Amino acid sequence: MLFGECTITFQDVAYQLGLPVDGRYVSGCLTDFHVYIEGGRQAWQWFHELPGVLPPANQIQKFVVNCTWFRETFGECPEGADEETLFADKSGNRIHIRWLPFVARLEEMGGYSWGSAALAWLYRCMCRVANRHVVKLAGPLQLLQSWIFWRFPGFRPAGTPDVLQVVHPEVLEPRHMMLWWCVTSLIYFAVVEWHQVDRVLPQFSGVQPPPHPALNIDFLMSMDERGGDRWLPSHLQHWHLHWETRADHVLRFDVVDDPGPSHEFLAWWHQHGKRFLSRELYLGDPRGIPIPVEGTQRGAGRVPDMDRVDDVPDRRRVERRARVGTRRSQRDWRWLDQAMEEGDEAGRDGGRRRGGRGRRRGAAPR
């Protein structure tokens, strides 16, 4: 981008989806509830106890149930309910039973960080679709589309009305807003992503210093739901503990005052990457406005030094090749073993006779 890096953050989740950020991570296990959860049941036994009925075998695929069965069995959603989904996969018509523990404790649903879980799932889906073999994008696409229209007014369809935002007061409480500036892990079951807002400070009216290198989480990108079930807070303990200490990783940086909706302000916004505009400028596009000289003058931003999280590159292929070896390396080692055996045999026999025809390397001994 001409104005630097930008991304979807907790702040966008709050404004676009109205979801709280602070709370417990959305994690646990996927299927073995009777092993990892106190009071848990066998998966399908627990399923039968909660809705009171089991789906037929033709509506089940391993541990997912077809959405058509839910609609036919329980009818339409209650009046006023929203049918939009945040954690949809590319199938679009199946629901995983990993949600059973959450359904069993509906009174605790408000204590989870649904905003961070939704953002983690969107990050992961956007990474997956970057693969040239992937042709469909899953995840909370309503957040992605709304963020694009909000941050890039020039991309809005013609005739889009100026809609006033309606944000629930709870998501603007200090404990939630504090985390908008937090560099921490994003957790959604086996999905672990990274909220690296230190690279996009202009989105928060901050002056951007040279950012730290992006965190390498290649190995975490390869995590999925295959390979057996685990208690994820223990299996990925480091990243879950990082979320538990999220309050210790909130950034403090210089904030530039908003000079008001003037031409100079629009030019400053264009130069510095400032995103949050007053309501009169929602549909404006300042990219064509010339930038004055004073608009390029800026001070150095200050971000406190924080504990650097170690990269987690995906080295499984390298380690596997070093352990097993390639065909060429195995052939070289076989030749070395044979040469050493020949040397030992020659030492025992007192050496070959002078002028004798030695055995060809690699030939089987008599």
> Can you give the pLDDT at residue 225?
65
* Model pLDDT, residue 194: 92
Mean pLDDT calculated for residue range 127-155? 85
Domain ranges of the chain: 10-26+112-297
Q: Among 125, 111, 137, 150, which residue's Cα sits nearest to residue 13?
A: 150
Q: What is the overall mean pLDDT for the chain?
A: 74
282: pLDDT strictly greater than 50: no
Q: Tell me the pLDDT tens digit for each residue of 15-52.
A: 888 888 999 999 999 888 989 988 888 888 988 888 88
pTM beyond 0.85, yes or no: no
Summarize pLDDT for 285-299 with one digit per residue, the tens: 444 545 555 444 444
The mean pLDDT of 166-174, rounded to a whole number, is 81
